[in-house]
Structure 1
């Protein structure tokens, strides 16, 4: 589909394959819809719980001429707000014959979607329906497929999303909040050997929900901003303690623009000074996500030494 698959389908590529049903006539008086929502009039959903594929019925084939989004059932959770991070399950249906193509329930890991301005611009209909709906709602979505000229057209698709949770995005903790976590023994401990190569020991607790920037040694160089390119030495670990990358092992610092890295690096390193040595503890949503197409999954920890600000060409 021309929009939402840009946000949802990449995650699906890595997946393994009790309440009463709502009636469209009843729910349309309360539920939200956008676009050519009449396309989805026949869609009915019987909820089977947050971990089980719901029963979905609709009059196939659907005639899909434009983007259509409709809240088919109303959840009993909190109202979803702009800017929040959603967890959801989804089912892909063949809109021509009603068969199930793929779903995320079997993998046992909800997918993620952030209600950002980027989503609002890319898919205003989906954004409009999600914001103001409630956690637990089932949202039906369809849009015309974009098929390259000369390619065989795949079947039209209907997506049904079930929102599992909605949370405010993580924030960068203050130095006082970081000190409290350290005092409580909830942060990793970094140790440097004689050559300055770091190792790490993780505490026996879940990773903090927010971004942690612990300054181990403050640099004396110039301050860096999100617009800068820097050179840095670093090592990265998953929260389970597995090292996945290290410039120390390669023997030289890496250069990168702070605007082109994961949000945890951009927000965590901006405002620091050249020469600083820091521990970053980054929640999953500010790293590569829980089921990334590339990069390690889940919350991460990095030891970073800012070597220099690279002069602009």
Structure 2
């Protein structure tokens, strides 16, 4: 079971080269499904007979009018109108979630107690269902939205995900932290265009048999964990300065789980923070080893410059 559709179904893939506030006054809000007509939602059914009560921005009480009930997979209802910032199509949305069993109305899971909101709802992602993008866009922070999950697991557990929007902000387009002043002089030299795209001078660098992780810009955002997914901009070069891949040249950042990429990326990005730019020197044993991969020869040491835009 998972608490959000993004976690269940928005499994962003890594690129082949790398693995590839609203008002908090004490008021409550209660409603059934939103009757607004959004044409992009026409293929989603609305859920009847479910309400949410409680102070906006805090864990709501979810009640089902009748149990047991059935829900269509992907059905929805807007249970509470928010009172904060309006969500835009450029935002990354973070939600707190409650899973409610539609068989008896019992709570199956919740992120509220441990304060672990899910921030995988990137409304700019092509992998997120367009109808769900439209469902979020125009809502306000502290809104609560119910989404039905008709699960096909062996237990047959169908449930409601009650998702409360706790933040909505666009991801940065490049590293946004403070420039690191004490970068070792014998490493490759990185310069950046106005838009943030990096260029590199190998500076006579001959590589390393160990992973080199050198922050060039130190961000102040969330810490990346080994189990995290990240959204990044990156460029990769061979030691002779040949560029073999770049998300910048493709015109869009890439997102992936750190469990999907080469070990040099997993080990090198874990512990770094959002807003950082990191220089990685990845020896062959933490890259592609003795296998040639695309334009990367066998036994290649790889040099990457990675801007960390988000983690979730």
Q: TM-score of the superposition, structure 2-length normalised?
A: 0.57
- CA gap 1:279/1:81 in 2 versus in 1, 3 angstroms: same
Equivalent pair of 1:139/1:162 in contact (CA under 8 Å): yes
**Match runs of 1:102-121 below 5 Å:** 102-112=109-119, 113-115=121-123, 116-120=125-129
Residue matched to 1:22: 30
Residue matched to 1:76: 83
The RMSD of aligned alpha carbons is: 4.7
Equivalent pair of 1:85/1:166 in contact (CA under 8 Å): yes
- CA gap 1:195/1:172 in 2 versus in 1, 3 angstroms: closer
Answering whether residue 135 of structure 2 is matched by residue 129 of structure 1, we say yes
SS in 1 for 2:164: strand
Paired residues, what number? 234
- CA gap 1:133/1:105 in 2 versus in 1, 3 angstroms: same
Specify every segment of 5 or more residues in structure 1 that has no aligned partner in the other structure, as ranges.
12-17, 261-273, 290-313
Equivalent pair of 2:150/2:157 in contact (CA under 8 Å): no
Residue matched to 1:264: none
Residue matched to 2:306: 280
Equivalent pair of 1:192/1:199 in contact (CA under 8 Å): no
How far off its partner does 1:56 sit? 1.2
Higher relative contact order by CA 8 Å / sep ≥ 6: 1 or 2?
A: 2
Residue matched to 2:101: 94
Answering whether residue 67 of structure 2 is matched by residue 47 of structure 1, we say no
1:223 to 228, 243, 259: 243
Residue matched to 1:308: none
**Match runs of 1:198-213 below 5 Å:** 198=212, 206-207=220-221
CA distance in 1, matches of 2:301, 2:96: 44
How far off its partner does 1:82 sit? 2.3
Residue matched to 1:270: none
Residue matched to 2:287: 254
CA distance in 1, matches of 2:60, 2:152: 28
How far off its partner does 1:219 sit? 6.1
CA distance in 2, matches of 1:188, 1:278: 19
Residue matched to 1:167: 169
Residue matched to 1:143: 149
From the two aligned structures, give the one with the greater helix fraction.
1
Equivalent pair of 1:31/1:72 in contact (CA under 8 Å): no
Specify every segment of 5 or more residues in structure 2 that has no aligned partner in the other structure, as ranges.
11-25, 188-205, 224-230, 251-261, 274-279, 294-299
Equivalent pair of 2:79/2:145 in contact (CA under 8 Å): yes
